[in-house]
Structure 1
């Protein structure tokens, strides 16, 4: 309803404020664009306060929103950022102040892209594609380096020149592709997979010069990130310059700050390696020299020993000791032989003394019957029986004659 007033019938301030509030309350949600000049996020508070300014005019509006609304873009929105807000206008009657209650906040331009990239980054990180334990070490000296880059680009030149300056014998397998635009992603993915399947390629470098966020978007594509994650060959990301950070940097095994840095990481410096070889050779020479000097010192010490100064002293006087030992050995053996001879003579004497022949030599005889039996008793002999008598010098025949 229209408000009719005059100098005689003015409207009270409270009524005017109420009417303005009623009219604003009927507006509903609106989209507002502006630049954040102030941002207040009190710890523990559930509401965030913003001041939104029109860059073209010196006009500002206060904006309030719940914390969860702001947290959705907190990573890419800060003071000075341009945003688009879906909000409902609100009129605070006691103070006659207009503000906006935001229900959605969107960054404008690059900010919106960054929000999308941040969301994709979180999704891929949740899949484990950026985990450190998936990173593979680069070979010390690759026999063949795969290079994915733009045709005749500064990035290609930087990688080739710096790598060959460091290691002249390095070889490259180059795949020239589009590095921005609608064809960039499929071409880069195809080149990476092709080089990964190459049997001689030991490392793959994806290189591009710097550019805007929009130019570098292909290197944050989910398809490219997953293709690199599936590679068996180590991948080096060399996209843009130090401030640039596409998602490819997070999934690559090594992130190089520039294409020149990638060349330094992929191949060793021949001069540095030659110097390292020289140092190792010098260290080995010093070690061997120290060993030889130590052994030489020990040898000189050994040569000062009396045995080495006059070796004859070791055998001088030993001939008498040897002769004495030989004499002692002979005497010992002689004693042993004499004792054995004496024992043998005694044994022989006992044997002879006990021998029947010795008994016979003393005048005894042995009488045997014809069948060879020895006669031990006269009763064993028949009258007139012939017997054989054995004596010391032989034997003879006797006849038994009865007495009487």
Structure 2
């Protein structure tokens, strides 16, 4: 679907000088649609299409944040639906529509969502809570970390720092107490700031940096600061209590948009909707064909999906970090025999899988014209064979009315454009 929206926009708007806005370079939060039934006129939807095209060319993906007129938003799914209808109009009526109307498939606006809290470790780092009821509307709260750490906390809802109290034993709290806390392990890695209150929603967080399981997928684990049910979606739609309930670690890829919320089991307090998209995707490279193959040459551009260095070879050998370096802003010219192999090494020294590219070879059949000269020789009329194809060719012919493909009297003119007989 990522490629599909790009192709829809390309088919509408192949030439434009509009420069992409910087906000599309690195997307950090998803946006839904709050522009339902809004008309977008041709000049505006072509500019927007061009920005989507440029974002794809730069980042290898479409923007999740699509701003329409009057600073309104359109979700990825609704953008596909919008441009599919525009393309259908173009091919049915042989012209672009004067305007299009945004139709919200889900009618959800996610602009109020919060970025998912995440622990800065590679292994799961959590702080579990349990509490028991005491007399006189009191409770005893116990914080249990998954590894040895120092826990800083406050009791009044303010953000804790290293200057605040250190947790050493169970806390006595009341219905109105609002505990904020976080842990720091021996490697100075931290949990996010977590929250607990008897009648407050839980903080539901990602327990560690998602770990790569293969070239394209990551494993992600969720936890809550208060025993809760967690509901989630991974398709860009707003989660509800009818969505999938979280029970086991999730598998996501570079394009997954995870959205989730939690409901505490004892008092049914609902958390905000949290949003997460992998900010450190697997590096990969893409080849863009800037031109068709002409005269056996082609101009291409190699781009990566994230910051890093693109290494390449032109002779079919495997590139390393000592190979030639390609600037993604520049074009590369190659002929149909050139074998380009390229990789992207990101700023963390993680390398993409190898990409191989060779321009397609178009073989043009020879176009032969047999013409007579004006003069006669002593034995007959002089003839000329002219080859109108782009390349020099071997010309096979006979002079005894036999088929040059099968005859044993076939003669050959090697590597010629024109030949007199």
TM over 0.5: no
Between Structure 1 and Structure 2, the one with more strand by share is 2
Report the TM range for the smaller structure's normalisation.
under 0.3
Between Structure 1 and Structure 2, the one with more helix by share is 1
